[in-house]
Amino acid sequence: MKEAMLYGPLEEGRVQCRLCSHRCIIAPSKRGICGVRVNREGKLFSLVFGRVVSMHVDPIEKKPLFHFLPGTTSFSMATAGCNFRCLQCQNHEISQMPVDEKRVDGSLVPPSRIVSLAKENRCRSISYTYTEPTIYFEYAYETAALARQEGIRNVFVTNGYMTEEALRTLQPYLDAANVDLKSYRDSFYKEVCGAGLAPVLENLKLMKALGIWVEITTLVIPTLNDSEREFEEIARFILSLGAEVPWHLSAFYPTYRMLNVPRTPAATLHRAREIGMTAGLRYVYCGNIPGEGGEDTFCPHCGRRVIRRMGFRVETFEAPGGECRYCHGKMDGLWE
């Protein structure tokens, strides 16, 4: 076990975790909501430091990040656990393992080995993904610091529910984040995810202020968050962050505890994309419907297609160095 960062002692041996916005107060021998942080005699410990439950070499587009080193690969890793209880979780076997199965599995892989594997596989970045990286913060933090020394970028794929303290602590090593903005309704967050909306919105604002490249993903679930009004509200919020922030609209398919909800029609995503573009966003994408359109990047200056994609694969690339080949306009993002 690794003693946790960002916690404080309370009376009667209790501790308060300051890592995510739940700010759990944890009694001796008990765990936080994430299931992977335990109070041992008045000290908080991580149960997942160095314990990888999944790791792969992925296209950066799979995160999804379309404006951050496009066409490169990212060494992707996760431990068990999550601070959300999303009914539609697509990685529930590992994210909910500590709660549903009362166990914490994983292979021992120290931070230095993660960085070595990223280098061996010629990955330009390391992505902390698949589950919620906030709950394995100490592991991600040490890995990210080592990666930065080797010139490797760091990416969080996150629900955005960390505390301000956690985000500011990580900021020196965090280059980019894809943040799930699951809905613009606090009731959705409470009923579907077991959390709240406000911390996610505040963290998105803070990430932008701290200079972290941000892209946003909304999983569109029929009947739950697919109204035109909600699309308009999300689009306006993203526009308040900056017209350059990409918005990924992803199709839902039945899984975990949400098996009776139908798949998202492609037409719904295309309508949401139209709403986002009309609101003034420069880049709005449709995901989980490969071949149905909405995956390509267009120059915001001349309107020409500069990246053609099929799923996570880049098929044509007409923006070397982030400059449109046709009009020489500069694209938004990190395009080394």
Residues 56 and 39 in one domain: no
pLDDT reported for residue 235: 98
Asked if residue 319 is part of any domain, the answer here is no
pLDDT reported for residue 146: 98
Domain count, the chain: 2
Residues 60 and 122 in one domain: yes
β partners of residue 51: 108
Asked if residue 209 is part of any domain, the answer here is yes
Asked if residue 245 is part of any domain, the answer here is yes
Domain range for residue 20? 2-46
pLDDT reported for residue 291: 84
Structure tokens at 195: 């959390």
Asked if residue 321 is part of any domain, the answer here is no
Q: CA–CA separation, 297 vs 317, rounded Å?
A: 10
Residue 179, C-beta contacts closer than 8 angstroms, at least 6 positions apart: 158, 159, 160, 200, 203, 204, 207, 214, 215, 216, 217
CATH code, domain with 140: 3.20.20.70
Residues 11 and 28 in one domain: yes
182-209 confidence digits (pLDDT tens): 999 999 999 999 999 999 999 999 999 9
Residue 315: CB atoms within 10 A of its CB come to 11
Asked if residue 302 is part of any domain, the answer here is no
Residues 30 and 59 in one domain: no
Q: CA–CA separation, 122 vs 296, rounded Å?
A: 25
| Residues of the chain with confidence (pLDDT) below 70 | none
Q: CA–CA separation, 137 vs 48, rounded Å?
A: 10
Orientation angle between helical segments 198-209 and 228-241, nearest 10 degrees: 30
pLDDT reported for residue 6: 97
Residues 78 and 104 in one domain: yes
Residues 31 and 108 in one domain: no
Residues 9 and 85 in one domain: no
Residues 128 and 239 in one domain: yes
Asked if residue 72 is part of any domain, the answer here is yes
Residues 83 and 159 in one domain: yes
Peptide bond into 64 cis (omega under 30): yes
**Three-state SS sequence of the chain:** CEECCCEEECHHHCEEECCECCCCEECCCCECCCCCEEEECCEEEECCCCEECEEEEEEHHHCCCCCECCCCEEEEEECCCCCCCCCCCCCHHHHCHHHHHCCCCCEECCHHHHHHHHHHCCCCEEEECCCCHHHHHHHHHHHHHHHHHCCCEEEEEECCCECHHHHHHHHHHCCEEEEECCCCCHHHHHHHHCCCCHHHHHHHHHHHHCCCEEEEEEEECCCCCCCHHHHHHHHHHHHHHCCCCCEEEEECCCECCECCCCCCCHHHHHHHHHHHHHHCCCCEEEECCCCCCCCCEECCCCCCEEEEEECCEEEEECCHHHECCCCCCECCCECC
Asked if residue 323 is part of any domain, the answer here is no
Asked if residue 300 is part of any domain, the answer here is no
Residues 15 and 156 in one domain: no
Residues 40 and 55 in one domain: no
Give the CA dihedral 227, 232, 235, 236, nearest 10 degrees.
-150
pLDDT reported for residue 149: 98
pLDDT reported for residue 1: 85
Residues 20 and 91 in one domain: no
